[in-house]
Amino acid sequence: MRQKEKVTIYDISKKLNISAATVSRALNDSNRVSLKTKELVLKTAKALNYQQNALALALKSGRTFNVGVVVPYINHTFFASVIRGIEEELEPKGYHVIICQSHEDVNNEAKQLKTLLNTHIDGIFISVSKTTEDVKHIEEVRDEGIPLIFFDRKKDISGVSSVTINDYEGAYNATTHLIEQGYKKIAHIGGDHKLQIYKHRYDGYVAALNDHNIAIDENLIMQVSSTVEAGIEAVKLLMKRKIAFDALFSASDYVALGGMRELRAHGFKIPEDIGVVGFSNEPFTKYLERPLTTVGQTPVLMGQIAAQVFLEQISDVKKNVQVEKKVVLSPELYTRDTSSKKGS
């Protein structure tokens, strides 16, 4: 059987009736070619199943067109959605995305970054593990001149860009919503404050209570892992403390889910007796018997913007310019059944 001949730039040029040189420039994103022509060439190349020689392209451009993404876990909907956003933005421009997991272990995170550096990656996106305190391994990436972008979970490192949401605002709005619904004794089940996202959510919760002249009760505040089981155990502990509360703001939807299960096991009605608000807008939240009020983090958009920041930085590297960019997205409160006390 005769092997199918490989498509070349000459096939594309013939199809579009333009020069092979123009096709080559378009494929290599040259400024000498109009955006309209680039889009036409890329569309035709895809239709003809044209594949550029990766090695030749890397040698010519000084780029590998590979980027790495390091996340705590790939099987979390939030991180998978961010990766989707990165891929949607970069794959049409010829980039391949390499995904690595830290499994919430800083040592594994450091190994993954080293492996990516050894593959001559063009850029790295990272959401740090909850055990990441020493950031030398991250600073080494920055010092290599590789574009590095934090998303969601970040560390304050000079020269490193980040794309996050305003966790403080999200928590403040969630807590204020509960107060406006008539709840006054609001418990907060948060995460480990070593991660800025959970510290900021706690700060937003406290600020909302202060702004409404509601006293802070430390007995109603705790830090747990982001699991259903942790939510169950947290509510059990609140019950043991025998301190009355009429609402629960959780820094995680999974914790909120566990908390609701345990509250119902004790005979409480939601939201009539106790209102509940989560954080993240996980897909399951709107399909519960009582859909969960929660704060959305726009993960796909976060990934898309992180990719755009990377493309800007790639351009800056060519100009020998280093720009640090901090993008903070606005969260969205999804008001559902678990917090609508006034309407119950």
In a domain, 24, yes or no: yes
Q: Which amino acid, one-letter code, is at 178?
A: L
| Count of alpha carbons within 13 angstroms of residue 49, beta-carbon side | 3
Query: Residues 336-340: what's their mean pLDDT?
Result: 94
Q: Distance between alpha carbon 28 and the CA centroid of its chain, in Å? A: 29
Q: Tell me: do 195 and 113 sit in the same domain.
A: no
The per-residue pLDDT for 319 is: 52
Helix (H, G, I), strand (E, B) or coil at 88: helix
More confident residue, 317 or 180: 180
d(CA 42, CA 151): 29
Report whether pLDDT(271) > 80.
Answer: yes
pLDDT at 53 over 70: no
Tell me the per-residue pLDDT of 210-234, one tens digit each, with 9 for 90 and over. Answer: 999 999 999 999 999 999 999 999 9
In the chain, the DSSP E strands lie at: 66-71, 96-101, 123-126, 148-151, 161-165, 186-190, 221-223, 247-250, 275-280, 293-296, 326-329, 332-334
- Measured CA to CA, the distance from residue 170 to residue 250 in angstroms comes to 12
3-state secondary structure 198-210: HHHHHHHHHHHHH
Contact indicator for 196, 290 with CB cutoff of 8 Å:
no
pLDDT of 254 reads 97
Kindly state whether residues 31 and 173 are assigned to the same domain: no
- Rounded Cα distance between 146 and 231, Å, is 40
**Rounded distance between C-alpha atoms, residue 16 and residue 11, angstroms:** 9
Give the other-Cβ count within 10 Å of 178's Cβ. 25
Could you tell me if 85 and 20 lie in one domain? Answer: no
CATH of the domain at 195: 3.40.50.2300
The verdict on 19 and 79 lying in the same domain is no
3 located within any domain = no
Question: Are 254 and 229 found together in one domain?
Answer: yes
Residue (of 268, 323, 332) closest to 298 by Cα position: 332
Copy the structure tokens of residue 231: 């939510």
Total domain count for the chain? 3
pLDDT band at 21 (very low <50, low <70, confident <90, very high): confident
For residue range 70-105, what is the model confidence (pLDDT) as tens digits? 999 999 999 999 999 999 999 999 899 999 999 999
Query: Would 83 be classed as within a structural domain?
Result: yes
Dihedral sign from CA coordinates of 234, 235, 237, 238: positive
Q: Quick one: DSSP state of residue 215?
A: -
Q: Clarify whether residues 157 and 265 are in a common domain.
A: no
Range with lowest mean pLDDT among 1-15, 59-73, 193-207, 240-254: 1-15
The amino acid present at 33, given as its one-letter code, is V
Amino acid sitting at position 261:
R
How high is the pLDDT of residue 46? 87
> Pick from 257, 250, 246: which is nearest to 201 by CA?
250
pLDDT tens string 180-202: 999 999 999 999 999 999 999 99
Q: Are residues 111 and 202 in the same domain?
A: no
Are residue 189 and residue 311 in the same domain, yes or no? no
CB 78 within 8 A of CB 282: yes
What's the rounded Cα separation, in Å, for the pair 86 and 304?
A: 5
- Same domain? For 79 and 91 the reply is yes
Q: What is the pLDDT of residue 2?
A: 43
- pLDDT value at residue 126: 98
Q: For residue 1, tell me if it sits in a domain.
A: no
Query: Which carries the bigger pLDDT value, residue 257 or residue 22?
Result: 257
186 and 228 co-located in one domain: yes
Say yes or no: 216 and 172 in one domain.
yes
| CA 305 to chain centroid | 10
**Any idea what the CATH number is for the domain that residue 46 is in?**
1.10.260.40
The pLDDT score that the predictor gives to residue 58 is 56
pTM listed for this prediction: 0.81
CB atoms within 10 A of CB 114: 12
The domain containing residue 240 runs over which residues? Answer: 167-297+333-339
Give yes or no for a cis peptide into 283 (omega within 30° of 0): no
Give the position of tokens 């063009």: 122
Residue 320 maps to a domain: yes
What contacts 59, CB < 8 A, 6 or more positions away?
Answer: none
- Strands 247-250 and 326-329, sheet pairing: unpaired
Strand-strand pairing, 332-334 and 293-296: antiparallel
Domain end residue (candidates: 52, 71, 86): 52
Q: What is the dihedral of CA 216, 221, 226, 229, to 10 degrees?
A: -140
Name residue, tokens 């008539």.
Answer: 182
Instruction: Clarify whether residues 175 and 290 are in a common domain.
Output: yes
